[in-house]
Amino acid sequence: MLLQVSQYSECLNLTDCKNENIRNLAIIAHVDHGKTTLVDALLKQGKVFRSHQQVGALIMDTNPLERERGITILAKNASVSYGDVRINIIDTPGHADFSGEVERVMNMADGCLLLVDAVDGPMPQTTYVLRQALQQNVTPMVVINKIDRPEARTAEVVTMIQDLFLELATEVEQLDFPVLYASARDGYATADPGVPGTDMQPLFDAIVKSVPPPGGDMAAPLQMLVAALDYDNYLGQVSVGRISNGTLRMRDDVALLARDGEISTHNIERIFVFRGMERVEVPEAYAGDIVAVSGLDACIHRRYHNFD
């Protein structure tokens, strides 16, 4: 059952209105390098907003194609609060088959966290997604994971990553990325590989410091970029995207510009923001935030045609 907006008003935090307190971070990792474990560790330590009801279960159904192939196709977002800051975590497909998807998903991010296994080092798929992130000028940071493993060759892996950045950087500032060292499994990160960490705080601090806030103007006319699509049995098609400017309100009429240039008007039915692993319904959302919206069906049909 979906709940009424009023039941979620307690989840609306005033700090949400200031977008300097938002960080939109895409996580890039080769499969098995520890993305799921790292996000779990961040969620465990950060203040996770949990609704008391099961709203998430309805809309976070696994995509059948994804289940079949065992890889991430649709963007699955989460968010975690650290002090006053809310970090939206944007999952990225780590597979070159979904190049258009990677590009669209990366449009929602201001920063990207490249997560690399301290034994394996960077892998081809990591390189592919990092290249895309740097081309889109997303601010990078690096986390070397699994430093607890006895076979870890951390210093060597850092050198490999530096070489990779030299090859892929499109701007000289991209070479000035922070490097952290972590054991996502054991729940710690550290800025100094010689000093074992105790918790994830150094990583939270590095994210808040190095990822730029989203910018955008809440009072400006609404602009939103739809980056990913989802389907929910109850809501129908759901568009996931980032509000670049203005305020998105339930029941607002919006004009939609499709990729082919066609313009159509739609009524915003429901708006969800991300809290922890769940989507929470809100009456309005603001520039800088990442939202899931129902009511834009016509556009999505066209996009689905494009996927064929």
Nearest approach, Cβ of residue 231 and ligand GDP (Å): 23
SS3 content of the chain, % helix, strand, coil (to 5): 30, 30, 35
- By C-beta, is 20 or 156 nearer to ligand GDP? 156
Quick check: 303 and 260 in contact, CB under 8 A? no
46, amino acid identity: G
Considering the complex, state which of residue 144 and residue 227 has its C-beta at the smaller distance from ligand GDP: 144
Distance between CA atoms of residues 182 and 144, nearest Å:
6
Residue count, binding to ligand GDP (CB under 6 A): 15
Q: Give alpha helix (H) positions in 85-173.
A: 99-106, 124-135, 154-168
In the complex with ligand GDP, the residue whose CB is nearer, 36 or 210, is: 36
Determine, following the binding rule CB under 6 A, whether residue 33 of this chain makes contact with ligand GDP.
yes
Query: According to the binding rule CB under 6 A, does residue 51 interact with ligand GDP?
Result: no
Which of 19, 21, 37, 81 forms a contact with ligand GDP (CB under 6 A)? 37
Beta carbon of residue 29, minimum distance to ligand GDP (angstroms, whole number)? 5
Sign of CA dihedral 156, 157, 158, 160: positive
Q: Alpha-carbon distance 165 to 161, whole Å?
A: 6
Q: Identify residues 79-98 at the interface with ligand GDP (CB under 6 A).
A: none
Q: Per CB under 6 A, does 53 bind ligand GDP?
A: no
CA distance linking residue 15 with residue 132, whole number of Å:
31
Q: Which of residues 165-194 bind ligand GDP (CB under 6 A)?
A: 183-185
| Residue 239 DSSP one-character state | E
Stretch that binds ligand GDP, among 34-42, 59-67, 163-171, 196-204 (CB under 6 A): 34-42
Candidate list 104, 146, 270, 275; residue touching ligand GDP; CB under 6 A: 146
141 binds ligand GDP (CB under 6 A): no
Minimal distance in Å, beta carbon 32 to ligand GDP?
Answer: 4
36 forms part of the interface with ligand GDP (CB under 6 A):
yes
Q: Residue from 9, 13, 20, 32 that binds ligand GDP (CB under 6 A)? A: 32
66 binds ligand GDP (CB under 6 A): no
Q: What does the CA dihedral 187, 191, 197, 200 come to, rounded to 10 degrees?
A: -30
Q: Which of 58, 35, 85 is nearest to 235 (CA)?
A: 58
Cβ–Cβ < 8 Å for 279, 271: no
- Chain residues binding ligand GDP by CB under 6 A are 29, 31-37, 145-146, 148-149, 183-185
